[in-house]
Structure 1
Amino acid sequence: MAEQKDNRILKVLLGIFILSLLGLGVWSYNTYQENEGIKIALNDEKAQIQMELDNISSEYSIEIEKGNVLSADLTDARDRIKRLVDSVSKLKTDVKVISILRRELANIKKDRQLLQDRINTLEVVNQNLALENENTLAALNTEIIKSQDQNSTIANLNSNMARASALIPTNFTPVGIIVRSSGKQIENDRASRVDDIKVCFTLPENPLATTGVTSFYLQVINPDNNVLGENKSKEFDGQKLAYSKVVQFNYKGKELDLCEVVGVNEDNIVKGRYRINLYNGPVLVSSSEMTLR
């Protein structure tokens, strides 16, 4: 009886042992599966964190390539991410590593937001400066245009004043004359009879014109294209003017009638058309023609 009782105890103990082994095996298997699941989850989280870090690093690179004024700060932040990723990639994935990554990612995201806020602020400032520069340039262009218009207006006024103040002769009339021994002058259009050529003209009243002694230059050209009279020359602005006689007069702003006789050599009095010009310095102020037969 005692032996049977001992056998039953052994069987019970054996059963308990087998059940314990089975329980341990199940527990070990479950624990293993749980650990593998944790490893997979940790690796997935690590990969996700690394991907976020890579994205932030790429954002920094884009801003740096734009030549952002914060390029130095962005470069430092990007290098920090690179160092973090390089160091963590060499470590075995566990809860401690993931904890470090989570903490660093949170700090990096915070820094990124601060940098982004600074970038946005600088962009607003730059936009305002650009707008201000555009407005300034537009205003400057407007002033330049106004100045050009004013200069043009002044130039036009000066030109108009110059024309208004110019002495322009009227009744410009050349004739051939016979000079009697008494000094009497008789008009004639026959070349064989003409002794000299007389030119008369009127200077009108002009309160804008310069008063005082003034010189005009009378030019008489015969049909052979010879300059009659004194046939001297005067240089104006690098160009020479051949003239027959200098006409001097004292202009006082009132109407003035003038007549000048150009003494000519008889050999230069020929039949044909004569051109008579009057110059005020280099400026031709009057011109006429006459014909001797």
Structure 2
Amino acid sequence: MNKQNKIAWYKPLFILIFVLGLGASVLVFSNEPEGNVSSAVENGVSEEYFYENKETNVQKGILDSLITLKEAYDIAIQEKTALSEQLELERKNVENLMEIIKASENPSLAQLKVFRSQLSDSKLSLENKMAEIKKLKSQNKNLLTEIESQNVVMYKQKAENDTLILKQKKLESTLKDASKLSLSTFKVVALREKNSGAELETTKAKNTKKLKVSFIVNGNAVAKTGKRVFYIQVLDQKNTVLGDNKLIEFGNDKALVYSFIVSTDFQGKSVNVYGILNADGNPFKKGTYFVNFFDKQEIMGTASITLQ
């Protein structure tokens, strides 16, 4: 890329040097000393013919310089810079001057002087424009370098931010997992009542008056403290939900049919929790009963009991 940029810069500079060289030749030729006139007259050439021939040569030299100058403008315009429109206007002026010179027959010395002056102005204008283009390219190069540097800094900053965000998400996920409560020691027992009111465990369906379920909420120092609610689901042999048989929705397309609710005041330490399912006039039948323990819609554990 750098090599191509250098070649692109050398080409218009070489054209400018060539244009300036031609211009100098024209000026030197147009300012030949009067001694050349005297010499021509002495050799038998009329003074009038000499001046006419000289003026024709000067006219041709100016035209040749304009052709070379136009080519230089063509190359400069191909650079497609912010000054392209101005360069195109200057090239148009050169083309118009060429047409005028081509249409001029036997121009006078005054006309040639005007042509030379316009040629000089056009060359000077091109020199100024090329210098300005060079300056603009230098500024653009510096600006691109600065932008690239800023992009590198921004990329590094974005990479750092992404890393921090990823770490934060991992930390949040870790804290979320760590803050979840865990339950253990799931039990279910059948109870019968003595005449004295005392309750004893039993395995006989006909004697069972209630099912007592229990579990332990394990201690967790980072878990939210306060009242915690758990849902107990008791299923009989036909997978019928006993007890309240109520439906609760959790707002995330999740729902649960539960038998009863138990709650506890959790303060970060392990706590025993239990709940009771009474027969309520519906005696327990023989068979196996399954108990599921839920923290909202998430099942935390299971237990079962078989009544004879």
After TM superposition, the score normalised by the length of structure 2 is 0.70
Distance 1:211 1:191 in 2: 39
Q: Label 1:99 to 1:243 Cα distance change in 2 as closer, same or farther (>3 A).
A: same
Per-residue CA deviation, residues 217-262 of structure 1 (Å, 9 max, x unaligned), is 1222334232222111222124332211111111222221222222
Residue deviations 1:179-211 (CA, integer Å, cap 9, x gap):
2233413153x6666554332211222222222
| Superposed counterparts of 1:154-193, under 5 Å | 154-173=168-187, 175-181=188-194, 182-188=197-203
Work out the CA distance in 1 between the residues paired with 2:114 and 2:262: 109
1:129 and 2:143 aligned: yes
Structure 2 stretches of 5 or more lacking a match? 1-42
Residue of 92, 95, 99 corresponding to 1:79: 92
Deviations 1:262-286 (A, max 9, x none): 235747756356251322x3343x1
Which structure has the greater CA radius of gyration?
1
Q: Does 1:253 align with 2:268?
A: yes
**What is the identity percentage for the equivalent residue pairs of Structure 1 and Structure 2?**
20
Amino acid at match of 2:265: N
Matching residue's letter, 1:230: D
Q: Is the 8 A contact 1:200 1:259 kept in 2?
A: yes
Match of residue 45 from structure 1: 61
Distance 1:89 1:264, change over 3 A: farther
- Cα distance in 2 between the residues matched to 1:39 and 1:113: 27
2:294 to 257, 265, 278: 278
Change (3 A) 1:191 1:95: farther
Counterpart secondary structure, 1:213? strand
TM, length-normalised to structure 1: 0.73
| Secondary structure, counterpart of 2:224 in structure 1 | coil
Give me the whole-angstrom Cα distance separating, in 1, the residues matched to 2:277 and 2:170.
38
Unaligned ranges ≥5, structure 1: 1-25
Give the direction of change, closer, same or farther, for the CA distance of 1:114–1:140 in structure 2 (3 Å limit).
Answer: same
CA contact (8 A) 2:183 2:301 kept: no
- Give the whole-Å Cα distance in 2 for the aligned partners of 1:56 and 1:139: 41
Task: In structure 2, give the amino acid aligned to 1:131.
Answer: T
Aligned residues: 261
Aligned with 2:152 (options 135, 138, 153): 138
Find the aligned partners of 2:136 and 2:272 in 1 and give their Cα distance. Answer: 80
Partner-residue secondary structure (3-state), 1:88: helix
Q: Which residue is 2:239 aligned to?
A: 225
Which aligned segments of 4 or more residues in structure 1 are displaced greater than 6 angstroms? 34-37
CA root-mean-square deviation: 3.4
Partner of 1:113: 127
Quick one: distance in 2 between partners of 1:268 and 1:78?
108
Q: Equivalents in 1 of 2:294, 2:175: separation in Å? A: 21
- Structure 1 position 82, deviation (Å): 2.3
Structure 2 CA distance for aligned equivalents of residues 221 and 46 of structure 1: 111
Q: Distance in 2 between the 1:269 and 1:237 partners?
A: 36
- Give the counterpart letter for 1:254 in structure 2: K
Equivalent position to 1:201, from 204, 212, 215? 215
SS in 2 for 1:226: coil
**What is the rounded CA distance, in whole Å, between the counterparts of 2:284 and 2:128 in structure 1?**
102
Q: Secondary structure at the match of 2:292?
A: strand
Question: How many Å separate the matches in 2 of 1:95 and 1:39?
Answer: 7
Superimposed CA distance per residue, residues 28-74 of structure 1 (whole angstroms, 9 cap, x where no aligned partner): 69x97x789758755653552232132033134324xx2x2223432
Q: Find the aligned partners of 1:269 and 1:133 in 2 and give their Cα distance.
A: 81
CA change 1:47–1:264 in 2 (3 A) is farther
